[in-house]
Amino acid sequence: MTYKKEIEEKRENIIKTLTDKSVLKQKVYDNTFAVFGTIKDILKELAGDINNVVTPVDNRIELVYTDRSGFDAQLKVAGDILYFTMHTNIFQFDREHPAWKTSYMQQDKMNSYSGVINIYNFLADSFKYNRYDDLGYLIARIFVNHEKQYFVEGKRQMALLFTNFGNEEISPNALRRIICTAVQYSLEFDLLVPPYDSVKIATVGQAETKIQHGRMATGKRLGFQFNSDDVLNAP
- The model's confidence at residue 143, banded by pLDDT at 50, 70 and 90, is very high
Check pLDDT > 90 for residue 66: yes
pLDDT at 233: 37
Among 31, 227, 34, 35, residue whose Cα is nearest residue 139: 227
High-pLDDT (> 90) share of the chain, % = 40
Q: What is the CA radius of gyration of the chain?
A: 22
Does the pLDDT at position 149 exceed 80?
Answer: yes
Q: How far is the first Cα of the chain from the last one, in angstroms, to the nearest whole number?
A: 47
User: Could you tell me if 137 and 83 are in contact, meaning their C-beta atoms sit under 8 angstroms apart?
Assistant: no
- Identify whether the C-beta of residue 86 lies closer than 8 Å to the C-beta of residue 34: no
Cβ within 8 Å of residue 227, ≥6 positions away? none
